[in-house]
Amino acid sequence: MPSPPLPTAASTSPFEPSALLAAIVESSEDAIIGKNLSGMVMSWNTGAERMFGYMAAEMIAQPITRLFPPGTEDTESAILAQLQRGERVQHYEAERRRKDGTTIIVSLTISPIRDAQGRIVGASKIARDITSQKQAQLALETARRELATHAKVLEEKVRERTAQLEEMVAQLNAFSYSLSHDMRAPLRSIKGFAEIVATDFGEKLGPQGMGHVRRIINAAARLDQLIRDVLSFSRVSRQDVTLVPVALDQLVRDVISERADLQPPKAVVTIADPLLPIQGQGAFVTQCVTNLLDNAVKFVSPGVQPRVVIHTEHRDHVVRLWVEDNGIGIEPAAQKTLFRLFYRGHTDATYPGTGVGLAIVRKAVERMHGRCGVQSMVGQGSQFWIEFPAAS
């Protein structure tokens, strides 16, 4: 079906076409200017009056270069040459001067005007004031530049502070390491001499004196254990870490076979299925497994034979090692704090310790890009787990 004819300006407007065009030009917000090929203004609409501050009577038959800031007049000849070749000048951004002397930035579109024979006789120029747009753009650019500078300064500051902090932590680590290390020698002599006193002068001391000496020996032993644990923690924090494939199954079997307290009749430690290989640092993994097994056989009710089951499972790209015991279990609130340095949930003499074991586990595991955790119910045993990157 043929479509109905589209209405044209002539058919819908009460105006005669040239009057309509003149009305459109007059009501335009943009400055619409006609000029001849010598650059003289031929027409000047209301938009031009508002934009440049000159009335039409002031500009008609005047050179358009009147609007040009001093020193930029020769750009007009380049524009005219382009027009004479019949080319349009589109979205050309230029500075122009208003009657009051202020400068504005305009976007110009200039097109050649031809007469009935097609000869180029002049040009129509449409100017849009883009000063505020440009100013906003400029402000944005300045703000962006300032932001980038600030970010750079901040980054530099963070880098500096991080370096300072790292140095301080390293110094503190070195300090605590050497302090702990140096404390061991006098402690050894306290313990050694106390033992000599107990052996050689025990009879002279009598039961009360011997009791005191025994206390000195025990306290020295506890302190020595604490220092050794702190040194282990410090070593795990400081040592360089290189991850290599580790045969976890063999490693765990070696740990168990070297320790009488992990074997019957003292305890029953079972490895369920061959353990999966992992990526880790051998010494760190041994330390973690040893500490978890120490706890698993330690935290049982008196008279109960510790029974521990070890197994692994694949989880995405990691291997999770489980150490499950039949021990006393852990309160829900305590489960979150267990891995903190010096945290001890059980301080009575039945469960001696220093509160460093699980902190070492966590530090070592984190340094091997792994994680650790626990699930437990009081009286129902605990299931500790550590995750390592899976061996590829």
**Binding site residues, ligand ADP, CB under 6 A:** 295-296, 299, 325, 327-328, 330, 338, 343-346, 353-359, 382
Cis amide prior to 63 (ω within 30 degrees): no
Identify the CA nearest to 267 among candidates 328, 303, 322, 308. 308
**Is 350:302 a contact under the CB 8 Å cutoff?**
yes
Tokens for 371? 């994680």
**Which of 127/358 has CB closer to ligand ADP?**
358
Helix (H, G, I), strand (E, B) or coil at 344: coil
**Across-strand partners of 322?**
311, 385
Q: How far is the CB of 230 from ligand ADP (least distance, A)?
A: 12
**Which of 134/344 has CB closer to ligand ADP?**
344
**Which of 281/354 has CB closer to ligand ADP?**
354
Strands (DSSP E) found in the chain: 31-36, 41-44, 89-97, 103-114, 120-129, 244-246, 268-271, 278-280, 307-315, 318-324, 371-376, 382-389
Helix (H, G, I), strand (E, B) or coil at 259: coil
Q: How far is the CB of 304 from ligand ADP (least distance, A)?
A: 12
**Which of 45/291 has CB closer to ligand ADP?**
291
**Which of 232/279 has CB closer to ligand ADP?**
232
Helix (H, G, I), strand (E, B) or coil at 90: strand
Q: How far is the CB of 359 from ligand ADP (least distance, A)?
A: 6
Q: How far is the CB of 343 from ligand ADP (least distance, A)?
A: 5
Measure the CA–CA gap between 332 and 324, rounded to whole angstroms. 17
Q: How far is the CB of 357 from ligand ADP (least distance, A)?
A: 3
Q: How far is the CB of 368 from ligand ADP (least distance, A)?
A: 18
**Which of 106/372 has CB closer to ligand ADP?**
372
